[in-house]
Amino acid sequence: MDFKSTALGIELGSTRIKAVLIDNDHRPVASGDHEWENQLVDGIWTYSSDMITNGLQACFASLKADVLKKYGEKLTTVGGIGISAMMHGYLPFDKDGRQLAGFRTWRNTITGQAAEKLTECLGFNIPQRWSIAHLYQAMLNKEEHVGDIDYLTTLAGYIHLRLTGKKVMGVGEASGMFPIDSATCDYNEEMVRKFNDLSGIDLRSILPKVLCAGDNAGELTEDGAKFLDPEGDLKAGIPVSPCEGDAGTGMVATNSVRIYTGNVSAGTSDFAMIVVDHPLGVHREIDMVTTPDGAPVAMVHCNNCTSDINAWVNLFGEFSKLMGIEADKGELFTKLFLVAKEGDKDCGGLLSYNYYSGEGVTDLDEGRPVFARMQNCSFTLANFMRTHLLSALSTLKIGMDILLETENVRIDKLYGHGGFFKTPDVGQRMLSAAVNAPVSVMETAGEGGPYGMALLTAYMLWKDEGETLPDYLDNKVFADAKSVSVMADEDDVKGFNEFLSRYKKALPLEKTATEVL
């Protein structure tokens, strides 16, 4: 195999780091992964530096093992590398490259004061998880390290710096740090000036340089090669594409970068990304970010999706083991998802809130998973599982209703990807019921973000002169792609709306839980 004709995408997601290697026909030819989980340390959701380094290296070692098993040779080079990670968060460094504070992930809801002030100042919604909100909150808190900040970046930006020595990132990832002007594919200059006046900081001097999809973002250095592959097999000099966020790679993996297309990524968190053709009003529930080539995107981001489902499935796994049955975890998920289809459309009087952490869309700074039911409910396994599946999408639907009903956003195609859609038909049908529109899942959707990052790297390597990212994906990647579309029936839609009405009415229950538990 000619590994110089491959493109490698690596994504550091919330619960898994995954690498996908594709050939020049854009087909996955090898993969590797490593599971990890965030930690709550002193009230901050974080991953330690050692977790980041060890996890990345374990993922690459897993990829190398897969290549050796399939092709009988060591992986020493690839045509290009691209790094992606969960967006937003806070990673500040001083002029000597010393990390000044623990990594604060997207999951934290500790910047409410800053987010509110910046939204007012900039006339642009700044969510709590954005890097600029974390920076300004640290200033408001008078944290000592702020005066020593020489460089502020995200997890993807940090890994990219370690691999290449370059303080750069893709525009989609940058759009989760600070607002972007799509016309210039750069930070919004007027808003930069407003922030500088407010804070006294020269913002551009500490933020990464913004690049667009297809730009060259440096080469793998000797130190970068050793950082990724401490065994020393990987060679330096490999071109590296602009690092991106998991939102951007999800758009690419589902061919959702053209105007009027959208996708929903549903895993630990869930978010909808709709490429729009007009400016939107300021809504606390809606982020405005960009595609990897700079087009404006309306984003509904929810901190919580499948974590509570995973916890319940693990509990059922423990019960199976207690009964002497060693249930395969994948099969357990599939059977429990399938039984949810048999439940009452409105879940029979059951209710749950899947809030492991705070949730900006419903204005909660903390979360407590809560399950509740009426005495006369239909308490069946089918209704129980359906409740948790609808709960995982309910906050997303609250935000989507603003786009569809208030802003009249047009959606021609909506794709789903992520673990929520792994069981055929079920997750699609639930999402379709939420948005009352067809939902498609591609056969490559299971590869998710790292596949999208590999495609962005391929675009950098193999695009024709003047070829846009949407055209490259349409003509060279997805021209013959197979997908399955599902449209929920009227009863499913009606049932979801009835469940959501009960869900919104009982939100004070979740608020109280955060105060008393």
Q: What are phi and psi of 148, to 5 degrees?
A: -100, 0
pLDDT in tens, the chain (517 residues): 899 999 999 999 988 999 999 999 999 999 999 999 999 999 999 999 999 999 999 999 999 999 999 999 999 999 999 999 999 999 999 999 999 999 999 989 899 999 999 999 999 999 999 999 999 999 999 999 999 999 999 999 999 999 999 999 999 999 999 999 999 999 999 999 999 999 999 999 999 999 999 999 999 999 999 999 999 999 999 999 999 999 899 899 989 999 999 989 888 888 899 999 887 889 988 999 999 999 999 999 898 999 999 999 999 999 999 999 999 999 999 999 999 999 999 999 999 999 999 998 898 989 999 999 999 999 999 999 999 999 999 999 999 999 989 999 988 889 988 889 989 999 999 999 999 889 999 876 556 789 999 999 999 999 999 999 999 999 999 998 888 999 999 999 999 999 999 999 999 999 999 999 9
Strands 413-417 and 350-353, by their bridges, are: unpaired
Radius of gyration of the chain (CA): 22
Q: What is the pLDDT of residue 447?
A: 60
Q: At what angle do helices 490-505 and 507-516 cross, to 10 degrees?
A: 40
d(CA 112, CA 133): 8
CA distance 334 to 424: 9
Give the H/E segment covering residue 491.
helix 490-505
Residue 70's Cβ-side half-sphere holds a number of Cα atoms within 13 Å equal to 15
Query: For position 417, what pLDDT does the model report?
Result: 82
Alpha carbon of residue 408 to chain centroid: 25
| The pLDDT value given to residue 365 | 87
| AA letter at 465 | E
* Cα 302 to Cα 128: distance, rounded to the nearest angstrom: 12
What domains are defined for the chain? 3-242 (3.30.420.40), 307-444+491-516 (3.30.420.40)
Helix axes 112-122, 189-199, angle to 10 degrees: 130
pLDDT recorded at residue 349: 96
- The Cα-based distances of 194 to 172, 198, 502 in angstroms read 22, 6, 42
Q: Which residues of 257-285 are buried (b: 16+ CB within 10 A; e: fewer)?
A: bbbebbbbbbbbbbbbbbbbeeebeebbb
Residue with tokens 């709550």: 40
Tell me the residue type at 412: D
Q: How far is CA 244 from CA 18, 84, 250, in A?
A: 14, 5, 10
Q: Specify the pLDDT at position 444.
A: 61
pLDDT score of 202: 96
Residue 304: phi, psi to the nearest 5? -125, 130
Q: Which residues lie across from 46 on neighbouring strands?
A: 39
The per-residue pLDDT for 446 is: 55
Would you say how long the chain is, in residues?
517
For residue 504, what are the CA distances in angstroms to 215, 362, 407?
45, 9, 21
Cα gap 129→145, rounded to integer Å: 19
Tokens linked to 5: 């004709």
- Rounded CA gap, 396 and 401, in Å? 9
Q: At what angle do helices 131-140 and 189-199 cross, to 10 degrees?
A: 10
CB 11 within 8 A of CB 441: no
E strand or H helix at 17? strand 16-22
